[in-house]
Structure 1
């Protein structure tokens, strides 16, 4: 059994774009041609590769084909680079990566800027919680990911970045209003907090360590890293911030610590286990920066 590259590439385009029509525009073919290619791929494999939902999504078998398509595209790019084709004004190669919001909002973009200055690439960033980014590697959606998962995803290799330490903080005015006697069980049960989204468990973990039922306190949801930090700094609620986002304010007491043990989140870099000069260059830059700042 063989998987023609054109068919795998078409499936990856459909998954990326979310529909057959959008993939057709990207590939400069008709929607009928895209549909025929997907049908031919499914007949050749004897398996369904695409769920025709809105947006479409790959099945487990389809995810394996999408991962193959991305790996082949990466190897093709490396070969063309070695042949000097990138010096002829060719199309920039798109590299999909996954990263957690706090890394994206603090240290992650600077090494990408350095990489883009040296390599003919653009980056497609997928933001997700560090506990879930590894799933994007498994599905073939990304080539590398910042993740809390230390065990390598199948077909990937892992490098330790460091630890992002979070402390519970709030403004002095907020503390005076909601926690006048300190961060007691009774006051924390009533004091509003800020969560990133409904999958963010950092505040819940800190509350549990303080012997407070995490489901009781009222919550604001602010699903962007810098805006999350701003909400806390404006006194909307208390929350856990890394040193990147709180050290200046703690220094001049625009923020104060609530006490309790900090929450440490180990971070790792995982990427496909391929011999790829481009992917290795990306890993070298990101791992070096992560280890420098974390």
Structure 2
């Protein structure tokens, strides 16, 4: 899909906004400290739930107003259910973590906007979710370099659930992009290579992030968990021409986002900063 210079600029701005939101989210912890001092622990712990509930209420009201343009009520209801599940998946000792649900529901909307210039239909839903979930991994990695924050596997799950909830809701509501289901390219019906590549990319990402939990506050980030993830650049080079055009941009985006994780062990060793 060829884009005009204006649309290309808007797409780039959308991606930049996504990347900017992640460090903003990381540094919102100061607001949580202020809320605890102002309202007390109990009331402050309810604020993320209230915020997410208000967001869901606004979504419902807007969706009802645009009911004739709704793509799928089923996706919207499923997304709301997943958002509620995500709220209760957080660590009860850290109620502030519940705000991640609303954060990533909004982040995936920005991702969806950026990707809508190149993707549509089901690929737009799928890759916007994956990209936002991967940004959630970056969120936790950045937190791991702060002594006042911690790297958490459960938080990544919450970020991913928030991303999935938002992706379903925005797709069901018909926001941004052509919603028609894109039929698979002729080549994709015979070639499972790109699908296997996606499985490998996701699996290697999980293999990279899970062991880091045991290195918190003890050592620098090791390189070895990132070896399988780093190898995806070789696989991507071989598989690129076989990726269906209808989701090629999405594969490129999540590959770059995943490979960027390999920069963290480099930073850890160069700066000699422990990982928390």
TM-score range relative to shorter protein: under 0.3
The structure that has the greater radius of gyration is: 1
Give the TM-score of the pair, scaled to structure 2. Answer: 0.27
- Bigger proportion of residues as strand: 1
Of structures 1 and 2, the one with the larger relative CO (CA 8 A, separation 6+) is 2
